Amino acid sequence: MVDFGKSPKLFSIIYGEGVFNDIVSIILFGVVQKQFPADGSAAPSLTWSSPGTIITDFFILALKSLSLGMFFGFLSAILFKKFRLLTHSPISETLIIQTIGFIAYFTSEAGELSGIISLLTCGVIMAHYTWYNLSPQGKTISSVSYSIFGSIAESLVFIYIGLSVFSYYNKIDVGGYHGPKGDAEYPWSWSTIWVMTAIVIIGRCAAVWSVHFAFKMCSKKRDIDCRELLFITWGGMIRGAIAFGLVLQIPDG
């Protein structure tokens, strides 16, 4: 088992890749979704200029969301640095940080941007700048509190994903699909599951190993061994909460 405490670079690679993939997925999904009617009643009218429009909207949405998150992140750092009155209570410090994060999220959503990206960017800025302006007690309490909240949220997300699998038969039942005995059945196809699993594993291995060897050809330094490379490959295949959440936003039809 890999010890992340002794391998900070390995942790940074896995975490950074996951965050980058999530950011790209969320922004790209939002941009492509705008090409469809709001009610999902019809397919979009794609033209030769559509790819250019999607790419342009992608970068504009990304820059606006990142900029908004950076604004609120730096704003929190300035507030705690200039107004030391805010650091008299560690509980108040934690609540103020939480409030600024919520403001960044809802402001971004109100402006039809990516609230998750703005919130993530705001959190990164806070971790690098705001945290150092807190009181010693505030640093400890905020770090412990958000670690607990993060673990709870992550557990709830994967519990929700597991339980959601058993809710798909309701949609099929409404659509008129019934099993041989007339009862609603789960629309599972084991052949599709095995084929998609193989595609995911092969695609993941090909992507990670090809990128690794490409960088290895450009540099003689060997910072990642075979065991760590296998761990990076596996670490990316267990992610999918963001993708699952985005799929749930696709309207039925």
- pLDDT tens across 135-170, in order? 888 888 888 888 888 888 878 877 877 777 666 554
pLDDT tens digit sequence for 172-208: 444 444 444 444 455 667 788 889 888 888 888 888 8
Instruction: Write down the pLDDT at residue 70.
Output: 92
What is the residue whose two structure tokens read 């209570």? 89
Rounded-to-integer distance, Cα 83 and Cα 126, Å: 16
Taking Cα atoms as reference points, which of 129, 126, 70, 128 lies closest to residue 94? 126
Taking Cα atoms as reference points, which of 155, 145, 134 lies closest to residue 80? 134
pTM above 0.75, yes or no: no
User: At 5, is the secondary structure helix, strand, or coil?
Assistant: coil
Report in angstroms the alpha-carbon separations of 38 from 43, 221, 249, 252: 11, 51, 12, 12
Rounded-to-integer distance, Cα 68 and Cα 115, Å: 9
Report in angstroms the alpha-carbon separations of 226 from 17, 67, 75, 104, 223: 18, 38, 43, 41, 10
Tokens of 134: 């807190």
Across the chain, the runs of DSSP E, i.e. the strands, are none
What is the residue whose two structure tokens read 């890749």? 17
